[in-house]
Structure 1
Amino acid sequence: MIRAALKSKAIHGFHLSPDVKDRAMKETGWANGLRGIAAAFVVASHLTLCYARGLVPPCCGPDEATPRLFQRPVLRLVASGHSWVALFFILMGFVNSLKPLSMARAGQVDQALAKLAQSSFSRIFRLVLPAAVATVISWLVCNLGFYQISRSSDAFWLNVNTPDMSDSWTQAFKDLLTALQATWLFGPQNTYDQPQWAMVYLLQGSVMIISALSLTINMTPAWRCVVLFLLAIWSMNWSHIIGDPWAGICCFFGIILSEVSLTTIPSSLTQVSPVLTPVLGLIALVFMSFPGSYAESAAWSRGLKVFVIEKLGLEVDDAVDRFYGSIGGILLIFAVLISPHARWALSRKPLLWLGKVSFAIYLLHGLFMRTVFAWILHVGQSLVLTYQQTPEGAYYQDPRYPVPNSLRCALATIVLIICTGAASHVWNLKLEPIFAKTTTQLEQCVKGNYPKMAATNGSILPLRKD
């Protein structure tokens, strides 16, 4: 009797009223929730590279015949940062095209084009300004010596991505200019904030989105989707040449998903979504679980790699992991798109807040990993000589702080989460309005709308009236 009552309560706990379902299918807040989850998993992947590198291969550790729990598909998403970055690109295409597409469908093509023209300028500075400020902060922290413990850590991500102090402040300013420039160039990376490797591709994706929408805004929705699909296929050639993370596929399919969301397709599939969404979601998460290295060590990832190379013609060097991450992300968003339950779940306040601060989390987590996280990780430890290997295969000894026990790692992780979350919240409250205001002023400036001086009747100095 009690068991039946609990079972009934559990079933009805997932039941949504018709009004809630209808509201969930109209709102787009779920995209923010999903973006927040993606940002959290990017941080998780970097933590994995610090103290759980054994999870990077899908199978198996030394003297182990079976994979560990978190090496298995879906669960290993904590180590699949590349797939969560792909979600940023897809959601960027989805969110940034919703308004122009809605206006085009309402016959407001001229207004849609004006909106795109405005977005093309503002989007650049809303990427450049925060990234530049984050780089300057990291540069200052580095050259004040706060990264030195992180630089000597044996935790892989910390050791590889922590720069040394510059020889002098003159050299430091030169290094800062180099880092600011490297963020927006293909190839070199920002040494003070490694996660900013994606910024140039986000900018590239923004240009792709605005260009594609400007090209297709006058078309019918059906033809617009056809052209966008062809652009996505064509972009695979660009990605192969410049080595981008399949930005074209992600961004163009993001626009297609946005177009689909404005049709009756999602609402018509809500009845089958309790079955279809879990199936599509599981396939998507398995694709997103594809490892960035050692794919041959597990049967499931080896099979996926062989398929995409032999059947689809991708080359080994074509970032197969990012390809599967992109396809998985597209499937995942479609699965959410047709499900009122998934939309509702992703629209809860904690996830909405996480999505709101997701960009700040992406920019700031590296700073706190190389300071507070590293300090707690290695407090009280002494440097230990460890054997390291050069790319040429030669061994050498290097003094490093060893990775501590699990309890210390857990404590450092908790403090990192608190610090990053708090700083990201303050960033959004204090700095984002400044970035928005600065962008608006720059936009008015390039339009020639300079602020008018108050009239003085030809007199600059005040006149005596006696």
Structure 2
Amino acid sequence: MSRDNRQNVKWVEGVRGVASFLVVVTHLSRAWDYPLFWPSDREGVPPRLLQLPILRLPWQGRIGVMMFAFLTGYVCAIKPLRQIKSGNTSGALTTIAKSAFRRPPRLVMPATIALIIAWIVAQLDGFGIATRCDSDWLRGTSVKLDGGLDVEIPRLFYEFQKSWITGMPAYDEHQWALLPLLKGAFLVYAVLFATCFMKTRMRIFTVFVLWAWYWCSPQLKTESFECMFLWGVLLNDIGGEPDFREWVNSRPKIRRAVQSFLIILGLYVGSFPEGHAQWAAWSRQLDSLNPYLFPMGADPTKRWSSIAFHLIVIGFWLSPSLQTIFSNKLFMWLGRNSFAVYLTHGTLLRVVLVRFIYGFSSAPFSVERPEKGDPIFHWIPRSQNWFVWAVAIPVWFAILYTVAHLWTTYVDSWCAKATKWIEETMFEQEENEKLGVAQLA
């Protein structure tokens, strides 16, 4: 192995593609089969196949957002750490400054375009079926109009503001994670800036202490975001050491045993249910460990998912074979389109897939208003024909990834060009850019 500071980082793009797919799958589960988040449908009832440990992991999906957070930390740290390790600290500081500048527009611009599209769809009653269907989750997450354009236009600006203050825009609630991801990128930049002059081992130690500090915090979602951001920085820094890689790769049998154990253990503990843990022996066992592993007041479901991904990603990180698999063309393509999938799937789910499942008419919806008592809502029933589901979901996935590919090709590339123009307008040119490469040569 050549002794340089480069490591295989292509696999993170493939993992990003898997993360976006898991996010989509879990939203399908929330919409139409919420008991998949429990160890069984009811207490005392045997679990279904997809409710068993490990098999249940893709459907409950909490791990998908954590994967995005880890990858944010990992990717943001790649170039600065590489420059720091090569002795080019001034170059690393320049990279951190420019990356910090680019991050907001690269997130805000495409997200805002997706929000405007969702707003237009809402004005055309595109979410009408979703707001009247028999899925509680779809009705609760689909926007309802507050009035005419005189109300809805100001509301659009208000919801845009909410996107980057509270992270919960009504027109597309799935954008809630973008604000924590933006904040997390700046956490990474601040950590790299503060530690860039440290020795490698001291920097690793400092990042680990900061990770442990966040893990001990009971604040909401620190295990899903801050811990994941810092774990990405930590693994990138350690993996960038040639001596460490040589030491690991010189012990293939031990490495394979360790990575297999960590991945299997991670898949098992990550199966911890979102509710009713007492309904199964395996989840009761995990639940009994909560007081010993988590600070008081922490969310055990997210904590177990966080532990799971910490373990699983170490297994991937140690495995050249898995890294090669996730670096192939299919996973790389999924990864390139992952952000577009995240931005567009919510609207496509509530506009296209619901019409495949419920039909195009809202006529079955009605409300009874008895003289006494609350109104009785008769929601639009879902199709009971299994063939409809077997055709609708694959066709919808094909539409989703086609739209995502077009989004990446045209919308995202335009946002990248716009960001570059803004950067060139606002930044001072470096000396070599002023003189030109030819003159310097």
TM-score (norm 1): 0.84
Q: Please say if 1:190 is aligned against 2:149.
A: no
Query: Can you list the C-alpha shifts for 1:10-67, whole angstroms capped at 9, x where unaligned?
Result: xxxxxxxx99xx9xx9422111111101110110000011222221112x22475321
Kept in 2, the 8 Å contact 1:116–1:210? The answer is yes
Which residue type is aligned with residue 44 of structure 1? V
Aligned-residue RMSD, C-alpha: 2.4
Match in the other structure for 1:447: 427
Q: Please say if 1:142 is aligned against 2:122.
A: yes
Q: 1:384 to 1:166 in 2, by over 3 A?
A: closer
Q: Please say if 1:51 is aligned against 2:29.
A: no
Kept in 2, the 8 Å contact 1:41–1:77? The answer is no
Q: 1:275 to 1:386 in 2, by over 3 A?
A: farther
Which residue type is aligned with residue 332 of structure 1? I
User: For the residues of structure 2 that align with 1:240 and 1:185, how far apart are their CA atoms?
Assistant: 21
Match in the other structure for 1:220: 199
Match of residue 298, structure 1, among 271, 280, 283: 280
Kept in 2, the 8 Å contact 1:384–1:399? The answer is yes
Kept in 2, the 8 Å contact 1:183–1:190? The answer is yes
Kept in 2, the 8 Å contact 1:84–1:325? The answer is no
Kept in 2, the 8 Å contact 1:32–1:356? The answer is yes
Which residue type is aligned with residue 73 of structure 2? G
Kept in 1, the 8 Å contact 2:65–2:224? The answer is no
**172-181 vs 283-292, which deviates more?**
283-292
User: For the residues of structure 1 that align with 2:133 and 2:15, how far apart are their CA atoms?
Assistant: 33
Q: Please say if 1:31 is aligned against 2:12.
A: yes
TM-score (norm 2): 0.89
Structure 2 counterparts to residues 1-150 of structure 1, below 5 A: 26-58=7-39, 60-62=40-42, 65-150=45-130
Which residue type is aligned with residue 279 of structure 2? S
Residue 291 of structure 1 deviates from its aligned partner by 2.3
Q: Which has the larger radius of gyration?
A: 1
**157-166 vs 109-118, which deviates more?**
157-166
Kept in 1, the 8 Å contact 2:13–2:336? The answer is yes
Residue 207 of structure 1 deviates from its aligned partner by 1.0
Match in the other structure for 2:436: none
Query: Can you list the C-alpha shifts for 1:299-326, whole angstroms capped at 9, x where unaligned?
Result: 3223323313x213423x4222222222
Kept in 2, the 8 Å contact 1:43–1:365? The answer is yes
Q: Residue 398 of structure 1: SS of its match in structure 2? A: strand
Which residue type is aligned with residue 420 of structure 1? L
Kept in 1, the 8 Å contact 2:30–2:137? The answer is yes
Match in the other structure for 1:322: 302
Q: Residue 46 of structure 2: SS of its match in structure 1? A: coil
Kept in 2, the 8 Å contact 1:130–1:435? The answer is yes
User: For the residues of structure 2 that align with 1:380 and 1:371, how far apart are their CA atoms?
Assistant: 10
Runs of at least 5 residues in structure 1 that lack an aligned partner in the other structure: 1-17, 388-393, 450-466
User: For the residues of structure 2 that align with 1:306 and 1:120, how far apart are their CA atoms?
Assistant: 42
Which residue type is aligned with residue 232 of structure 2? G
Match of residue 409, structure 1, among 369, 379, 389: 389
Match in the other structure for 2:438: none
Q: 1:432 to 1:227 in 2, by over 3 A?
A: same
Residue 403 of structure 1 deviates from its aligned partner by 2.4
Query: Can you list the C-alpha shifts for 1:338-390, whole angstroms capped at 9, x where unaligned?
Result: 11111111112111100010011011000110111011111177526699xxx
Which residue type is aligned with residue 168 of structure 1? G
Q: 1:88 to 1:267 in 2, by over 3 A?
A: farther
User: For the residues of structure 2 that align with 1:49 and 1:395, how far apart are their CA atoms?
Assistant: 26
Kept in 2, the 8 Å contact 1:357–1:425? The answer is yes
Kept in 2, the 8 Å contact 1:151–1:158? The answer is yes
Kept in 1, the 8 Å contact 2:43–2:279? The answer is no
Residue 395 of structure 1 deviates from its aligned partner by 6.8
**138-147 vs 262-271, which deviates more?**
262-271
Structure 2 counterparts to residues 223-372 of structure 1, below 5 A: 223-236=202-215, 240-241=218-219, 243-244=221-222, 246-263=224-241, 264-270=243-249, 271-272=252-253, 273-308=255-290, 310-315=291-296, 317-372=297-352
Q: 1:401 to 1:33 in 2, by over 3 A?
A: same
Residue 241 of structure 1 deviates from its aligned partner by 3.8
Match in the other structure for 1:156: 136
User: For the residues of structure 2 that align with 1:299 and 1:440, how far apart are their CA atoms?
Assistant: 55
Residue 266 of structure 1 deviates from its aligned partner by 4.0
Kept in 1, the 8 Å contact 2:215–2:222? The answer is no
User: For the residues of structure 2 that align with 1:396 and 1:297, how far apart are their CA atoms?
Assistant: 34
Residue 98 of structure 1 deviates from its aligned partner by 1.2
Q: Residue 322 of structure 1: SS of its match in structure 2? A: helix
Which residue type is aligned with residue 341 of structure 1? S
Q: Please say if 1:173 is aligned against 2:157.
A: no
Kept in 2, the 8 Å contact 1:383–1:401? The answer is yes
Structure 2 counterparts to residues 417-436 of structure 1, below 5 A: 417-436=397-416
Match in the other structure for 2:185: 206
Q: Residue 230 of structure 1: SS of its match in structure 2? A: helix
Q: Residue 21 of structure 2: SS of its match in structure 1? A: helix
Which residue type is aligned with residue 417 of structure 2? K
Kept in 2, the 8 Å contact 1:116–1:214? The answer is yes
Kept in 1, the 8 Å contact 2:73–2:233? The answer is yes
Q: 1:246 to 1:379 in 2, by over 3 A?
A: closer
Runs of at least 5 residues in structure 2 that lack an aligned partner in the other structure: 430-441
Kept in 2, the 8 Å contact 1:151–1:164? The answer is yes
